[in-house]
Structure 1
């Protein structure tokens, strides 16, 4: 029945500022009215609605103000350079100090985080193939640590 995610929404303080920001991310502008703007994430498949209003003051919580955009693993490896090129700063995830992309072997994914102008949490995320003997790892590993571990595991098998 369910085939994917069609839309998600975020609250914003200033629609003009947010339109400029999401355009820099490479999302394709779809339409707007006085209080709302929509961007295609994947044209014809999924879009993001931005809603101007006082709701942007809602305290951050990932269940309310977070979106993860799917990227390739190679793109994730280059994400810090890409974000810098569009004047966006990566932010640490949770209690981490590092902004570097990291892998969650136990979940089979990797991420890097950044915020929009209103403090909405945005994430670039990809799936990673995790060998069975590494799926027990619950630490978050930086990409170079992950790749080194993969090389060691492959050479032992």
Structure 2
């Protein structure tokens, strides 16, 4: 199921300064929000996430305990069954209550989350091609919602 490393994360004190630094290194800027920025290491395959925060004030910074493994779209659709078969429980991401894999159209990827025995956050993630019209969708969509949207768009 796991094909390689999809992303790694680093905590940063000043996102603006770090963005400029990683641009100077020649990494291609992918996207950002208020406190995170992502750069492609290998376009469409792996990226680096920068998380602004004060790791000294917060005992747990998510970027220090998170790894994402790249998988295929079809494998991600079967990921809950696979995790169950190896006796690993999926966990909700962020404020979500569902453990179901989901699509992030605005980022062009899909994920499911789980933890290792030490509570480290692990993720199975894949690239999802997104038509330009759908890149403005910031809601997280289920595979069912996404595929229905894509099928309706192709008619």
Unaligned runs of 5+ in 1: 9-57
1:97 and 1:91 mapped to 2: Cα distance? Answer: 9
- The structure whose Rg is larger is 1
- Per the alignment, residue 67 of structure 1 pairs with 67
Partner of 1:136: 136
Q: Distance in 1 between matches of 2:61 and 2:130?
A: 29
User: Per-residue CA shift, 1:27-54, capped at 9, x if unaligned?
Assistant: xxxxxxxxxxxxxxxxxxxxxxxxxxxx
Q: Which residue of 1 aligns with 2:50?
A: none
Which residue number corresponds to residue 36 of structure 1?
Answer: none
Partner residue in 2 for 1:26: none
Task: List aligned pairs for 1:82-121, cutoff 5 A.
Answer: 82-121=82-121
**C-alpha distance in 1, partners of 2:59/2:151?**
42
How far the C-alpha of 1:63 sits from its partner, in A, is: 1.2
Long gaps (5+) in structure 2: 9-57
Question: Post-superposition shift, 1:62?
Answer: 1.9
Give the alignment's Cα RMSD to 1 decimal.
1.8
Whole-Å separation in 1 of the counterparts to 2:61 and 2:139:
22
**CA displacement, residues 115-135 of structure 1 (integer Å, 9 cap, x when unaligned):** 000100000000000011111
Q: Deviations over 1:38-95 (max 9, x none)?
A: xxxxxxxxxxxxxxxxxxxx94422100000000000000000000000000000000
The DSSP-based 3-state class of the residue aligned with 2:151 is helix
1:80 equivalenced with 2:61 (yes/no): no
Contact 1:106 1:137 in 2 (8 A): yes
Indicate how the Cα distance of structure 1 residues 85 and 60 shifts in structure 2: closer, same or farther if over 3 A, else same: farther
Q: Do the aligned partners of 1:60 and 1:119 also contact (CA within 8 Å) in 2?
A: no
Q: Distance in 2 between matches of 1:68 and 1:78?
A: 17
